[in-house]
Amino acid sequence: MPLIELAATINGVRIDDDFAEAFPMHGTAIQITAATEEWAVESARKMTGFATSVIACGCEGGIDHVVPASRTRDGRPGVRVLLFAMDRKSLAGQLGTRLGQCVLTAPSTACYADFCSDKEIELGSAIRYFADGFQVSKKFGDRHYWRMPVMEGEFVCEAMTGYTDEGVGGGNLLIMAANAANALKASEAAAEAMRAIEDVILPFPGGIVRSGSKLGGKYPGMMASSNDAYCPTLKGATQSKLDDDIGSVLEIVIDGLSAKAVSEAMAAGIKAICDLGPDEGALRIGAGNYGGGLGPHHFRLKELLP
């Protein structure tokens, strides 16, 4: 008997009748352009470094997708970056700090708003004083920019960017396999499929996390600790949720600018795992939740099946 009731078995992959529990976040999107795609990506990677979890990083961030020169604001190669935090103040603070340290500093970059909303936070306006009085305010139509002199030439950055308070953090899939190699192969397939969905990011390294967590822990002050129920080496020492044939578990966490985007990404990931099948990939797909009390967004796996 399975430890968790199954919603379905697709192409030999068992899918739990369970749900991923996610919570509201504030999110924004910006566009970073540069002389080459490599420099735009390099700046974006630095900007979204150490941004895997709000538990310790202050924000969650990542690259949504590469933007071809034909679709950027200044006709140069670019990337779209998403950033999420628990409230407006935290989001604005993280955006300003990371912009100043990782985009302003990178050769040839410029930065533009990439989320339209009547709710706004500072972008270039947050760092304009670095120009020490030499910053120049420019308006083109209804858009406001700052031009800041730097040693290379000048840095152009839009003054403000829109944000949403209807973002979603913590959508997830638990990918369970016979061994670590199969778990990784299934997770990589899912992550690749999810990256094709716009308005979402997978904030952990490569989109995959091996150290899934539960709320709290046995030591005082711990906000989160190891999700022992899904640790294969603890099957005999804890109330395990793993079947005997599961030897390795990986997790994918999804943040999105909307619940719809997170739902679409999870569905794409499930399909990719099922398409791969159990011989080379996952034996079972589950989801992490805390009984429904942590967040209002409940993504039920059976409603996302291909």
pLDDT of residue 13 exceeding 80:
yes
Please check whether residues 110 and 17 belong to one and the same domain. no
Are 32 and 109 contacting, i.e. CB atoms less than 8 angstroms apart?
A: yes
The predicted pLDDT at position 2 comes to 56
- Percent of all residues in the chain with a pLDDT value above 90, rounded to a whole number: 94
What token pair was written down for 216? 């709290």
Rounded Cα gap, residues 289 and 29, in angstroms: 27
The predicted pLDDT at position 170 comes to 95
What pTM does this model have? 0.95
Please report whether residue 89 resides in a domain.
Answer: yes
Q: What is the DSSP letter of 37?
A: H
What token pair was written down for 130? 């670095």
Reduced to 3 DSSP states, what percent helix, strand and coil does the chain have, rounded to the nearest 5? 25, 35, 35
Grade residue 1 by pLDDT with cuts at 50, 70 and 90.
Answer: very low
Q: What amino acid occupies position 116? A: C
Please check whether residues 152 and 171 belong to one and the same domain. no
- DSSP H helices in 65-208: 88-98, 180-195
- At 22-41, the pLDDT tens digits run 999 999 999 999 999 999 99
Please check whether residues 207 and 221 belong to one and the same domain. yes
Give the domain range for residue 294: 6-22+167-303
Please check whether residues 198 and 299 belong to one and the same domain. yes
Long-range Cβ contacts of 258-262 (<8 Å, 24+ apart)? 258/164, 258/166, 258/167, 258/168, 258/199, 259/22, 259/166, 259/168, 259/297, 261/168, 261/197, 261/198, 261/199, 261/200, 262/22, 262/168, 262/171, 262/200, 262/297, 262/299
Please check whether residues 218 and 132 belong to one and the same domain. no
Q: Cα torsion for 4, 6, 12, 13, to the nearest 10°?
A: -60
What's the domain count of the chain? 2
Query: Last residue of a domain, which of 164, 184, 207?
Result: 164
Please check whether residues 193 and 272 belong to one and the same domain. yes
The predicted pLDDT at position 293 comes to 79
- At 252-278, the pLDDT tens digits run 999 999 999 999 999 999 999 999 999
The CATH number of whichever domain residue 55 belongs to comes to 3.30.70.520
- At 93-118, the pLDDT tens digits run 999 999 999 999 999 999 999 999 99
Query: Last residue of a domain, which of 139, 164, 189?
Result: 164
pLDDT of residue 42 exceeding 60:
yes
Please check whether residues 195 and 208 belong to one and the same domain. yes
The bridge status of strand 136-140 relative to strand 60-67 is: unpaired
Please report whether residue 1 resides in a domain.
Answer: no
- At 69-82, the pLDDT tens digits run 999 999 999 999 99
